[in-house]
Chains A and B, each alone.
Chain A
Amino acid sequence: MIELQAFGNFGLTSGRPVAQSEGGLPLPSFLYNRRLRVIVLSAALFFLFVAMVISQHWWLFCLLPAVFLPLAVMVGWTSFHRNLAWAKPAQLLASDEYLHRGGTIEMLLKQEVLRDAVYDRIKVQIVMREWIRYTCGTDNCQETFDHIIREHEELGPITVSQNSSLERRIHFELPHYLMHAFHASDNRITWFIQVLIDIQGMPVMAQFYRIDLEPENILS
């Protein structure tokens, strides 16, 4: 089995930037400890309150939201990213890195979870994508169209306990009428495998893996 190379990112299906598994904003390391975070924030608030009382500038209380709101957003964002980190990016192994017309492909999907997880849906698709670039006004526009060639879908609930892995073996038989990959400047046909994973309490994750379908080398 060959490990297929993931491209794009481990992330949300919206196509927005993505939550890297070890992501988050570069906050000072002590802020990642919840207890320390509470102590530091309480102390900061206390000393700010004392300073304002002593100086008798009560109007400064109005500035409190402006000071703490960005901090709260940063902490919340980091917490969101850290929540995503408990499910590692899925790993996809395949019997071949090339697809063959009329052939078969075996795949092994693995995903490690650091705490109990309930999967609602696992979907693996072999996709042939048409990509084009065209002129629209004075701009270059791009469009894609996906042909879903094969699809494997498993609906949950599938429970995976903490510090273990979800493992699924998937077998696809490929049709004879596949078109090979094609790379021209403004017209391209590409092949990839798309994995969609829906775990309860997490956004749906999409991962893409390169795979290729080259024309048989008839001239050789």
Chain B
Amino acid sequence: MTSADYPIRIRIKEEGSLRFPPGELIEGLVEIFPETMMRCRAVDISVLWYTEGKGRRDEGIVQSWHYDVEQIGPGQSFSEGFSATLPSAPWSYAGHFINIVWVIHVKIDIPMSADMNREARFLVLPMDLPV
């Protein structure tokens, strides 16, 4: 199963664009709807930033939620909202060596198998700054 096939949907409540000024509230909904019953241990949702590029990865988790879930399947889907206040920094950035990426990250912890991960990107930038 490729990551695109993962039965995870992340919806970010936005007004026109996925761009949020620092200090703003970000809200949304995470839904997991597999076609067959799926055994799992937990679902983790995080609002975080990380660096991309040549350097080693740095990251900062703003807020995370942990849900103990034993199974998800048809008629037993997972649906949870999230809401977090973004910090004043760091801002989203694309440079020469460093990129700073903001994401909503969802991880399904599956016993005896690789975890399922999905993320939805958004921008943290002051409104007067060009993208």
Contact = CB atoms under 8 A, between A and B. Distances in A.
Contact of A215 (B53, B88, B130): B88
Interface in A180-208: 180, 182, 184-187, 189
A143 interface: yes
Contacts of A132: 53-56, 97-98
The main secondary structure of chain A at its interface with chain B is: loop
Contact of A180 (B21, B23, B91, B96): B91
A215 B89 contact: yes
A98 interface: no
A177 interface: yes
B88 A130 contact: no
Interface string B19-38: 00111000000000000000
A184 B51 contact: yes
B114 interface: no
Contacts of A218: 21-23, 88, 126
Interface of A: 101, 130, 132-135, 143, 145, 147, 176-177, 179-180, 182, 184-187, 189, 215-219
Interface of B: 21-23, 51, 53-58, 60, 87-91, 93, 95-98, 100, 126, 128-130
